[in-house]
Structure 1
Amino acid sequence: MKEQQQKKALVAGTLVLDIIPIFDKGSSANERVTSGGTVYLKGIQTALGGVVGNTGVALHQLGAEVCLFSRIGGDAFSELTESRLKQTGCRYVVPRVEEMNTSSSLIIAPPGGDRMILHNRGASQRYAAEDIPEGLLTENDLLHFGYPTGMSCMYADQGETLSAIFARAKRLSLGTSMDTSFPGVDTPSATADWRGILKKTLPFVDVFLPSYEELVMLLHRDRYLSMREQFPEMRMRDILDDALVAGMADELLGMGAGMIVIKCGIAGAYFKSADRARLTQMGKLMPDDLSSWADREVWIPSLYVEHVYSTNGAGDTFVAGFLQGLLLGGSLAQTAGLAAGSAASRLESTSGSAGIPRCSEIEKRLQKGWVMETFPLNGWQDTQEGILKQRI
C-alpha cells in the first residue's frame, strides 16, 4: 500500500486515564493480597485508554491523519489526561465539563495474577447526538466511535442517540465504524436490548468490529453465561464456535452493516462482508477495488509474537490497523495483514501505543514471511491472498 495518506479519521467516544501500579516481579503473592498491609511498587504509570486513547493513538502511530474527540471533566485528572494527549502528537478536541469527573481506571495487574480494573465513568461517556461538531465531521472521511456498551446514554434510550450519531455522519458522506467493550454480566448494559439497538444502528455503520466474547454476551446472553460456567478461564481454544461466529455475522449483516470483523483473540479475526451494493454506500471510505471486498468470508489469523509484553490494547490496535488499511485504499488481504501486524506489534511493545511502528514497517515484516500463530482452525485453508484463510 502507498503510505501517502489521503483520507482522514475522526475517532470519538470513550477516553480514559489509566492509572497502572507497576508491581515488582519478585514480590510474593502473600504480600500482594494481605489485607491491611502495604505493597511496595516499582512505580505508577499513567496511560490513555478507551477507544480514543487506544485506537485513535494507534492510528496516529501507523501514520494516519487523526483527530481525537472526547470530553474531560473538571477534576485534577483532566489536566493529566490533556497532558498525555499533547504527548501523543495527535490533533485533539476535548471540551471540559466542569461538573463531571474525567473517565479513569485503576488497572491492577500483578505478575502471575488476574487483572482487575476499577473504573470511574465520567465525562467521556456522556454523549448527545449533536455533541460532535459538524465541522469535525465534514473535514474527515471516517468516523470511528466506541464504546457504546459502556455509555448508559447509548442504551437507556434503546439506541436512539447511538443511531442518530451514525446517521448524521452518513448524511455527511463519511465512512463509519464502531467498536464495543464488554458490557459486564449483571449490569444495566448487559441486560439492555442490544439486538434492538443494533438493528437501529447498523444500517448506518459500514464496519462493525466487536470481539467474540462481547458479541456472544450482547446477542446470546444465556449462552455466554453457560460458556463461562463450563470454561471459567474463557480460553479461546475452549469457547470459540465457528458456526456461532458465522451465524452472528450473518445476523449483523442482515441488520444492515457493511462489514463485520469479529475479533477472536489469539485465534485472529473473522471477516464477512455484504454485497457490492451495500459497500457502495460507504461514502468516503468506499474501497477502490470493491471486487476484493464484497461478498467475502475469510479468517484473519493472528501473527506469532515471541515475547508478549502486554495484551492491553491489542484488540483496539487490530482495529486501528484494519481502519488504516481502508483509509489507504488497500485490498482486503493488505488490510488484514496490516491489522494482524499492528496487533502483534502492540503485544510485543514495551511502551504501549508508542511502540507501534508505521504501517510501512509492518508491511516489510509481512513480506519477509511473518509466522502465523499456531491456532487450530478446523475447516479453513490458506489462500493465495496474503495471510487470509478461506473455508475448505
Structure 2
Amino acid sequence: MEKQYDAVIVGYTCVDLVPGFRKNSPVTSTSVFFKPGKLIEIGGMDFVLGGVPPNTGLAMKKFGKKVFLNGLIGEDFIGEIAAQGLTRAGVSFNMIKTGGAGTAFSIVLAPPGVDRIFLESPGCNRVFGMEHIDFEAIQKSRLFHFGYPPLLREFYLNNGQQLQQMYGEVQKMGVVTSLDFSLPDPESESGTVNWPEVLERTLPHVDIFVPSLEELIQTMVPEAYAKIQSLPGDTEIVDKIPLDLVKQVGQRIIGLGVKILLVKMGHRGALLLSGDISSLNKKAGIALEQDKWNNREILCGAYKVDKSKGINATGAGDTAVAAFLTAVLNGECPETAVKYAVMAGRESLYCENIYKEIGRWEQLAHKIHVEQNELKCFL
C-alpha cells in the first residue's frame, strides 16, 4: 500500500533565538568565554525553528522526502513565527495551538569552536500529550519519528506511560517507529525520572533509536555517566566515554528489541549497531537488504571539519538523524546510511539556516564520494 507521507515527525517544537557570534574568533573554553562582567559583541539575532519536527522534518524534506510535522505551539508571537516559518517552508503540518501556555523557545549560545549551550523554556511542550498527536497522519506514513521525551512532561510522567502507550499504538499500525532523545536536566523534574526503566518499557516498541553518546550513557547507565563526568581534566565528556561501554550499552538496547541503533558521537563520528531487521521489511514501504543489515556493528569516523567555515552546531544531531532516516527509507546499505548521517551532521555546521543552506541529497552523495573518512566494520 502506497503511503501519503514518507515520515511523520512529532514532538518537541520551539523557536531558537541564536545570537550571531563572530566566525573568525574560535573559542577554546566556555569558562573563559563566558566570564562574569565580560562584554561579548554579537552580529545580530536569528530566529530559527527548532525542535525535532522542524529540524529533522525540514531537513528530510530538503533530502527529497514527503514529511508531515506535528507538535504544539502557543497563541503568542513566537507561535506565529513558528507557524509562518513552516508555511513558508511549504511543508504539511498540524501545529495545534493552545492558550494554556506559551510557545517553547530556546536561547542557543553557540560560539564557534565549542559545543552549544541551551537556555530552554519548554513552554506548552509541558502539556503536549497523546491527545495532540495526529494518529491519522501517522497511519498514512512509512515512518514515525518522535523526540524529545525528557522535555515533554506528559511523556515521562508515571514512568513514561504515555510514551510506551503511544509507541505501542503506532507499532500496531505497521509503521516503522523511530525515537530521538535529549539530555535530561538533572536540576529539573525530568532529572528525577528513572530513565533506564522508562526506556526498558518503551524500546521494545521502537525500531530505530538515535540518541547522542551522552544521552545514551546518561539515560541507560546514569551511575556510570556520573562517574565519568566526575573524572578530572578539561577533556569533553564525549571523549571520556569508552567505546567499549558504548558498545556494551548498545547491545543491551538491541536486546530490548530495537532493530537499529545509531549513536551520534560528535567529532568522534557515529556508531551503528543492528539486530535482526527482518520485521522492518514487513512494514509498508521498507526494503532493506537483510544480509547487509542484520547484526552489524559499524564505527564511522567524522569527516574533516573546515573550522573557518563553521558557524554553529545547532541542529547538527537532528540533521544527521534526518539523513540517516532518509537513507533507511531509500533502502541504502548500513555503511552508506551511517556515512550520510555523519556527512549531514558535518555540513550542518556550516549553515546559518539549515533549511535553506544544507545541500540536497545528491550534493551529500557527491561529498561522500569525494571525501574520505574512516569506516570500521566489526561485524
**Structure 2 equivalent of residue 269 of structure 1:** 270
Query: What are the Cα deviations for residues 167-207 of structure 1, in whole angstroms up to 9, with x where unaligned?
Result: 11111111010000011233332231111111211111100
Query: Aligned-pair distance for 1:349?
Result: 2.3
Question: Is the 8 Å Cα contact of residues 7 and 65 (structure 1) preserved in structure 2?
Answer: yes
Residues 124, 30 of structure 1: alpha-carbon distance in 2 compared, 3 angstrom cutoff: closer
Question: Is the 8 Å Cα contact of residues 274 and 294 (structure 2) preserved in structure 1?
Answer: yes
Question: Is the 8 Å Cα contact of residues 228 and 237 (structure 2) preserved in structure 1?
Answer: no
Q: Which among 343, 355, 358 is matched to residue 356 of structure 1? A: 358
Structure 2, unaligned runs of 5 or more: 26-30
Give TM-score scaled by structure 2 length. 0.89
Residues 6, 94 of structure 1: alpha-carbon distance in 2 compared, 3 angstrom cutoff: closer
Residues 276, 188 of structure 1: alpha-carbon distance in 2 compared, 3 angstrom cutoff: same
Residues 349, 268 of structure 1: alpha-carbon distance in 2 compared, 3 angstrom cutoff: same
**Structure 1 equivalent of residue 28 of structure 2:** none
Farther off after superposition, 158-167 or 221-230: 221-230
Question: Is the 8 Å Cα contact of residues 270 and 338 (structure 2) preserved in structure 1?
Answer: no
Q: Which among 9, 12, 16 is matched to residue 11 of structure 1? A: 9
Residues 260, 40 of structure 1: alpha-carbon distance in 2 compared, 3 angstrom cutoff: closer
**Structure 2 equivalent of residue 301 of structure 1:** 301
Amino acid at match of 1:390: C
Query: What are the Cα deviations for residues 340-370 of structure 1, in whole angstroms up to 9, with x where unaligned?
Result: 22112112224333211111111112222x1
Are 2:72 and 1:74 equivalent residues in the alignment?
Answer: no
**Structure 2 equivalent of residue 390 of structure 1:** 377
Give TM-score scaled by structure 1 length. 0.86
Task: Please report the RMSD computed on the Cα atoms of aligned residues, expressed in angstroms.
Answer: 2.7
Query: Aligned-pair distance for 1:126?
Result: 2.9
Amino acid at match of 1:305: V
User: Distance in 2 between the 1:7 and 1:81 partners?
Assistant: 21
Amino acid at match of 1:11: I
Count of aligned residue pairs for this structure pair:
371
Amino acid at match of 1:117: F
SS at match of 1:70: strand
Amino acid at match of 1:327: L
Are 2:71 and 1:57 equivalent residues in the alignment?
Answer: no
Query: Aligned-pair distance for 1:115?
Result: 4.5
**Structure 1 equivalent of residue 336 of structure 2:** 334
**Sequence identity percentage:** 27
Residues 294, 119 of structure 1: alpha-carbon distance in 2 compared, 3 angstrom cutoff: same
User: Distance in 1 between the 2:298 and 2:24 partners?
Assistant: 44
SS at match of 2:377: strand
User: Distance in 2 between the 1:74 and 1:232 partners?
Assistant: 46
Amino acid at match of 1:388: L
Query: Aligned-pair distance for 1:39?
Result: 6.2
User: Distance in 2 between the 1:249 and 1:92 partners?
Assistant: 33
Amino acid at match of 1:318: A
Question: Is the 8 Å Cα contact of residues 56 and 321 (structure 2) preserved in structure 1?
Answer: yes
**Structure 1 equivalent of residue 130 of structure 2:** 129
User: Distance in 2 between the 1:335 and 1:232 partners?
Assistant: 35
Residues 179, 30 of structure 1: alpha-carbon distance in 2 compared, 3 angstrom cutoff: closer
Structure 1, unaligned runs of 5 or more: 373-386
Question: Is the 8 Å Cα contact of residues 293 and 332 (structure 1) preserved in structure 2?
Answer: yes
Residues 116, 269 of structure 1: alpha-carbon distance in 2 compared, 3 angstrom cutoff: closer
**Structure 2 equivalent of residue 159 of structure 1:** 160
**Structure 2 equivalent of residue 253 of structure 1:** 254
Residues 345, 113 of structure 1: alpha-carbon distance in 2 compared, 3 angstrom cutoff: closer
What aligned pairs does 1:211-222 form with structure 2 within 5 A after superposition? 211-222=212-223
Query: Aligned-pair distance for 1:245?
Result: 0.7
Query: What are the Cα deviations for residues 79-122 of structure 1, in whole angstroms up to 9, with x where unaligned?
Result: 11112222322221101001211011122345678744221112
Query: Aligned-pair distance for 1:40?
Result: 5.4
Residues 39, 339 of structure 1: alpha-carbon distance in 2 compared, 3 angstrom cutoff: closer
Residues 278, 46 of structure 1: alpha-carbon distance in 2 compared, 3 angstrom cutoff: same
Residues 154, 285 of structure 1: alpha-carbon distance in 2 compared, 3 angstrom cutoff: farther
Query: Aligned-pair distance for 1:329?
Result: 1.6
User: Distance in 1 between the 2:40 and 2:94 partners?
Assistant: 38
SS at match of 1:94: strand
SS at match of 1:173: coil
Residues 389, 125 of structure 1: alpha-carbon distance in 2 compared, 3 angstrom cutoff: farther
